[in-house]
């Protein structure tokens, strides 16, 4: 039996008087008996855990949640209490659906990513992105689903017009301080006014609150089949991505976010660079990441600085060693001004500038690009 410190006993006793149901209102039988024992031994973790288990079994999840939270108040590393707290919070969470929309207009100096840049100069283009997150109970399990619609229209390089839609879903499995989220689903894309590819997707995500922020990682496996009209065939891809956030970075009041990734693609053939689609056709291995620091300057205005870096090593059908073949290195620093709740709550405006430099051992794929983007972001 685990015993808390004297201070823990005082805290537990205070929590008992504030949150435990009184004997006259407790469930009959076992719960009432355990309650009387806890009043005599408020620092007894095993009794509190037993109360929580039986409260759950008796259909009293809020009583069980209060017991788990009292334990964690003075014993924050208790694994059973952490899992129980997460499970009941999930059970008590109402079904909900949220959306985020992003609509943007951009100027791009080299939209075709040519070397040298296209003699016709830059263009104005626009894109839109609608994402959905849905959480609902299916039986005793909470399921989370993601939906995505994306489309881009080019003012000059109309052959690059592109659209994509995907949907993935899976259960949320709570552990001691983390949540697993396995998903399955698929996606479909259109390019140059016709069907581009279809894909099947499966992933395993993990998330948890550490350092005061939600941290995530995801391992994804996919298989794509391209329309025979395009110079790409079919094949698998695998990527591992993460998102690490640090609020109040080194005491500045700003937030640092780092998003690293590793990707392998076994899709035969060549294709096109689609900014919205990080998995491009071709056989390659890629390592990269993006870092952004956002510093509030007023209650509604923030400044951001970011950089994205990635290296890609291509293989050929004749040699998969990567030693003989094309290698690309891309670096893209940028800056942004963000106005929060610009027109209404949950409505942000973001103005970005990004400089892109891609250096390749195949000089026809070395290019520079300047991109200025104005986004309107809504969350509801």
pLDDT above 50 for 4: no
pLDDT above 50 for 3: no
How far is it, in rounded angstroms, from Cα 103 to Cα 66?
A: 43
Are 148 and 130 a contacting pair, CB within 8 Å? yes
Residue 355 lies in a domain: yes
Q: Which CATH number is 44's domain given? A: 1.25.40
**Phi, psi for residue 110 in degrees, rounded to 5:** -140, 70
Task: Indicate if 159 and 278 belong to the same structural domain.
Answer: yes
In the structure encoding, which two tokens stand for residue 150, read together?
């994306």
Residue 10 lies in a domain: yes
Are 218 and 241 a contacting pair, CB within 8 Å? yes
Instruction: Band the pLDDT of 115: cuts 50, 70, 90.
Output: confident
- Residue 52, classified by CB atoms within 10 Å of its CB into exposed (0-12), middle (13-18) or buried (19+), is buried
Task: Indicate if 106 and 132 belong to the same structural domain.
Answer: yes
For 207, 248, 294, the CA distances from 144, given in Å and listed in that order, are 13, 29, 28
Question: What's the mean pLDDT in 55-79?
Answer: 83
For 228, 300, 339, 377, the CA distances from 343, given in Å and listed in that order, are 46, 11, 9, 11
DSSP 129-154: EEEEEEEEEETTEEEEEEEEEEEEEE
Task: Indicate if 111 and 163 belong to the same structural domain.
Answer: yes
Residue 280 lies in a domain: yes
Residue 256 lies in a domain: yes
Residue 147 lies in a domain: yes
Which residues lie closer than 8 Å to 250 by C-beta, 6 or more apart?
A: none
Task: Indicate if 282 and 133 belong to the same structural domain.
Answer: yes
Task: Indicate if 301 and 278 belong to the same structural domain.
Answer: yes
Task: Indicate if 219 and 144 belong to the same structural domain.
Answer: yes
Task: Indicate if 85 and 116 belong to the same structural domain.
Answer: no
* End residue of a domain, out of 92, 107, 123: 92
How far is it, in rounded angstroms, from Cα 272 to Cα 89?
A: 45
Residue 132 lies in a domain: yes
* End residue of a domain, out of 31, 65, 92: 92
In the chain, pLDDT over 90 holds for what percent of residues? 54
Q: Which domain holds residue 45?
A: 6-92
Instruction: Band the pLDDT of 323: cuts 50, 70, 90.
Output: low
- State the total domains in the chain: 2
* End residue of a domain, out of 57, 73, 92: 92
Task: Indicate if 85 and 129 belong to the same structural domain.
Answer: no
Structural element, H or E, at residue 188: strand 179-191
How far is it, in rounded angstroms, from Cα 253 to Cα 256?
A: 10
Q: For the ranges 78-82, 233-237, 314-318, which has the lowest average pLDDT?
A: 314-318
Going by C-alpha positions, the residue among 178, 49, 125 that lies closest to residue 374 is 125
Which residues lie closer than 8 Å to 143 by C-beta, 6 or more apart?
A: 135, 136, 137, 169, 170, 171, 172
Q: Which residue has the higher pLDDT, 22 or 164?
A: 164
How far is it, in rounded angstroms, from Cα 155 to Cα 106?
A: 10
* Residue 128 CA, distance from chain mean position: 19
Task: Indicate if 102 and 242 belong to the same structural domain.
Answer: yes
For residue 204, list its beta bridge partners.
182, 219
Residue 1 lies in a domain: no
Task: Indicate if 67 and 140 belong to the same structural domain.
Answer: no
**Phi, psi for residue 304 in degrees, rounded to 5:** -135, 145
pLDDT above 70 for 10: no
Instruction: Band the pLDDT of 271: cuts 50, 70, 90.
Output: low
In the structure encoding, which two tokens stand for residue 214, read together?
């939600």
In the structure encoding, which two tokens stand for residue 324, read together?
């003989």
Question: What's the mean pLDDT in 171-199?
Answer: 92
- What's the mean per-residue pLDDT of the chain? 86
Structural element, H or E, at residue 337: strand 327-339
Task: Indicate if 208 and 321 belong to the same structural domain.
Answer: yes
How far is it, in rounded angstroms, from Cα 331 to Cα 356?
A: 6
* 248-270 residues labelled b (16+ CB within 10 A) or e (exposed): eeeeeebbbbebbbebebbbeee
In the structure encoding, which two tokens stand for residue 203, read together?
């992933």
Task: Indicate if 130 and 67 belong to the same structural domain.
Answer: no
Residue 267 lies in a domain: yes
pLDDT above 60 for 161: yes
Residue indicated by tokens 């995530």: 216
Q: Which CATH number is 323's domain given? A: 2.40.160.40
């Amino acid at each position: 039996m685990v015993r808390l410190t004297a201070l823990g006993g005082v805290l537990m006793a205070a929590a008992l008087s504030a949150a435990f149901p009184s004997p006259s209102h407790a469930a009959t039988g076992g719960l009432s008996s355990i309650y009387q024992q806890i009043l005599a031994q408020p620092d007894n973790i095993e009794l509190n855990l037993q109360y929580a288990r039986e409260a759950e079994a008796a259909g009293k999840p809020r009583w069980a949640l209060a017991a788990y939270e009292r334990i964690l108040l003075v014993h924050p590393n208790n694994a059973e209490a952490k899992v129980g707290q997460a499970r009941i919070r999930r059970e008590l969470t109402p079904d909900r659906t949220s959306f985020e929309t992003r609509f943007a207009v951009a100027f791009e100096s080299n939209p075709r990513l040519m070397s040298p840049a296209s003699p016709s100069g830059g263009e104005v283009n626009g894109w839109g992105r609608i994402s959905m997150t849905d959480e609902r109970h299916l039986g005793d399990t909470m399921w989370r689903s993601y939906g995505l619609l994306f489309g881009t229209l080019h003012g000059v390089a109309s052959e690059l017009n592109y659209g994509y839609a995907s949907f993935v879903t899976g259960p949320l499995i709570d552990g001691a301080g983390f949540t697993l989220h396995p998903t399955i689903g698929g996606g479909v894309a259109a390019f140059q006014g016709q069907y581009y590819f279809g894909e099947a997707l499966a992933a395993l995500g993990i998330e948890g609150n550490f350092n005061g922020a939600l941290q995530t990682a995801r391992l994804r496996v996919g298989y794509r089949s391209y329309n025979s009209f395009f110079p790409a065939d079919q094949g698998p891809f695998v990527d591992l991505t993460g998102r690490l956030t640090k609020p109040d970075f080194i005491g500045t009041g700003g937030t640092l976010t780092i998003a690293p990734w590793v990707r392998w693609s076994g899709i035969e053939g060549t294709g096109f660079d689609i900014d919205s689609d990080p998995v491009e056709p071709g056989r390659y291995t890629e390592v990269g990441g993006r870092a952004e620091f956002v510093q509030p300057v007023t209650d509604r205005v923030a400044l951001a600085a970011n950089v994205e870096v990635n290296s890609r090593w291509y293989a050929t059908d004749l040699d998969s060693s990567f030693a003989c073949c094309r290698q690309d290195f891309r670096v893209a620093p940028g800056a942004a001004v963000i106005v929060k709740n610009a027109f209404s709550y949950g409505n942000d405006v973001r103005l970005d500038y990004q400089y892109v430099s891609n250096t390749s051992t195949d000089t026809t794929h070395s290019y520079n690009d300047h991109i200025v983007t104005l986004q309107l972001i809504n969350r509801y």
